[in-house]
Amino acid sequence: MADHPEHDQLVRLDVTAGVATITLDSPHNRNALSAQLRRELGEHLDAALAADAVRVIVLSHTGSVFCSGMDLKEASSGAVAGQEFPRILESIWTSAKPVVARLAGPARAGGLGLVAACDLAVAADTVTFALTEVRIGVVPAVISVTVLPRMLPRAANELFLTGETFDANRAVAIGLINSAVPADQLDGEVRRYTGMLALGAPGALAATKAMLRASRPAAMAEDLAEMLELSARHFGSDEGREGMAAFFEKRPPRWVPSAD
């Protein structure tokens, strides 16, 4: 098949009712992480994170494959991935806004790194996964930074070392994804998650994400003191006061996006 013309976009960004959907749109090579796709994905992530109107980000795809990993044609020609992909993984992982992965098709190798970087991940129950790097003589090194914190250790040892393909139900069981549903229910499940996430206050969501990824002090007293300070700061914040007022007044808080 002919190469995709450089001027054609391989990643698209659409924003509706506070949800930014970033779509990998390179089905001709199974949404492989080519230099162009990596560049455009990073740019769209930056745009979504900078937009005040965006509350939640969904990472989706066209075609039958979510992401097949690095573009091996480029890699075999000597092209070096550099810092683009690590920066993308870090941007998703540390994003102040929740990121949801939507998989209607398989993920392989680097594609699993993207899935694991997202806060939540939903897949059709027909989707398969595999960490295939060792089978082509390379190491799943960069993606281990996001995948290992998600997966059960025994499963990680098995799947990183064997490269075996596993299904969506096992991906749920080992912590890689949150939910596996019939394909015709996939978009509804994604909307269920994005709808719940949009109810959260932006500052509170960002602080909760930071709390979830932070290392905790060894001493319980120190941990409790830090968490008490964090709690008090947000109870006294503008968001905290607005949230409690909305609760008592039985109305949505001001940060809930309109359906327009």
- Cα separation of 208 and 155, whole Å? 27
- Region of 146 (left: φ > 0; alpha: ψ -120 to 50; beta: rest) is alpha
Based on the domain organization, do 168 and 122 belong to the same domain?
yes
Based on the domain organization, do 173 and 241 belong to the same domain?
no
- Cα separation of 14 and 109, whole Å? 26
Q: What are phi and psi of 34, to 5 degrees?
A: -70, 170
Number of folded domains that form the chain: 2
Based on the domain organization, do 212 and 191 belong to the same domain?
no
| Residue 22: CATH number of its domain | 3.90.226.10
Considering 133, 164, 222, 249, which one is annotated as catalytic? 133
Based on the domain organization, do 109 and 172 belong to the same domain?
yes
229 is catalytic: no
pTM for this prediction = 0.92
- Cα separation of 192 and 213, whole Å? 24
Based on the domain organization, do 231 and 125 belong to the same domain?
no
- Cα separation of 243 and 245, whole Å? 5
* pLDDT reported for residue 78: 61
Are residues 145 and 126 in contact, defined by beta-carbon separation less than 8 angstroms? Answer: no
Based on the domain organization, do 172 and 238 belong to the same domain?
no
Based on the domain organization, do 158 and 124 belong to the same domain?
yes
Spans of the chain below 70 pLDDT = 1-7, 77-82, 259-260
In a domain, 47, yes or no: yes
Closest CA to 259 of 72, 49, 17: 17
In a domain, 255, yes or no: no
* pLDDT reported for residue 97: 97
* pLDDT reported for residue 75: 75
Based on the domain organization, do 48 and 61 belong to the same domain?
yes
Judged by DSSP in three states, 157 sits in helix
Domain boundaries, position 209:
202-249
Based on the domain organization, do 120 and 154 belong to the same domain?
yes
What the block records as the tokens of 111 is 């594609």
In a domain, 259, yes or no: no
**Domain end residue (candidates: 182, 198, 214):** 198
Q: What is the DSSP letter of 258?
A: P
**Domain end residue (candidates: 165, 183, 198):** 198
Are residues 177 and 186 in contact, defined by beta-carbon separation less than 8 angstroms? Answer: no
Based on the domain organization, do 105 and 219 belong to the same domain?
no
Supply the DSSP string of 64-120, one letter for each residue. Answer: S-SB--B-HHHHHTT---TTHHHHHHHHHHH-SS-EEEEESS-EETHHHHHHHHSSE
Helix or strand holding residue 48 (H, E):
helix 35-50
In a domain, 149, yes or no: yes
Judged by DSSP in three states, 65 sits in coil
CA pseudo-torsion sign 66, 70, 76, 82: positive
Are residues 22 and 12 in contact, defined by beta-carbon separation less than 8 angstroms? Answer: yes
Based on the domain organization, do 111 and 59 belong to the same domain?
yes
The pLDDT tens digits of the residues spanning 225-259 come to 999 999 999 999 999 999 999 999 999 999 998 86
Q: What are phi and psi of 130, to 5 degrees?
A: -165, 140
* pLDDT reported for residue 7: 55
Based on the domain organization, do 17 and 138 belong to the same domain?
yes
